[in-house]
Amino acid sequence: MLDKRYISEKPLIKIYKLKQAIENVTSSDNKELFMFALKSILISVSNIKYGPGFGIGKIKDDADVITFFNDKAIMMISDLQGLTKKQVSTKSKTLLGDSRELSKAVASSSVSLIITSPPYPGDHEYTKHSRVELIFSGIATDIASFRDIKKGC
């Protein structure tokens, strides 16, 4: 499923070894945090480039996966430790849908903040931009699953 140009063999092996270590060693309380950190470095250690558009950049023979992961995990832990009690206790709700149909999902005058990701002009290809993460996470396993995700975008 993953085009070999997207990520070179050496960093890919390191990523899967690190994923296996997280799954086997990390307590369940921390597993999601470390898996999120790992997923968030995939593009950094890959050959993918953005701007404008999506493409394959210079092919990297190798990448320092461990340092990228370590730095990301430390940053995430630091961010979490810096949260105030008010931030931790603030109620939030995540909705998946069309932001133009918000009135169907949310009562009038009940929202303090809304963050949306509108469609981009020029046929922005969401699944192409997140292909590595979707495959790595097991969310997209074949062409049909990519089509379903794209249709939902």
CA distance 78 to 74: 6
pTM of the model: 0.77
Specify the pLDDT at position 28: 79
Q: What is the mean pLDDT of residues 24-48?
A: 90
CA distance 46 to 69: 13
Contact 47, 58 (CB under 8 A): yes
Specify the pLDDT at position 121: 55
In a domain, 2, yes or no: no
Preceding amide of 52 cis, omega within 30: yes
Specify the pairing of strand 48-50 against strand 54-56: antiparallel
In a domain, 1, yes or no: no
C-alpha R_g of the chain: 18
Specify the pLDDT at position 124: 58
In a domain, 139, yes or no: yes
Specify the pLDDT at position 119: 61
In a domain, 107, yes or no: yes
In a domain, 63, yes or no: yes
In a domain, 108, yes or no: yes
Mean per-residue pLDDT of the chain: 85
Q: What is the mean pLDDT of residues 100-118?
A: 78
- Print the domain residue range for 16: 9-152
Straight-line distance from the first to the last Cα atom of the chain, in angstroms, rounded to the nearest whole number: 20
In a domain, 77, yes or no: yes
Given a cut of 80, whether residue 125 has pLDDT beyond it is: no
Q: Looking at the 3D structure of the chain, how many domains does it have? A: 1
In a domain, 3, yes or no: no
CA distance 58 to 60: 6
Q: What is the mean pLDDT of residues 93-106?
A: 80
Query: Which is higher by pLDDT, 113 or 123?
Result: 113
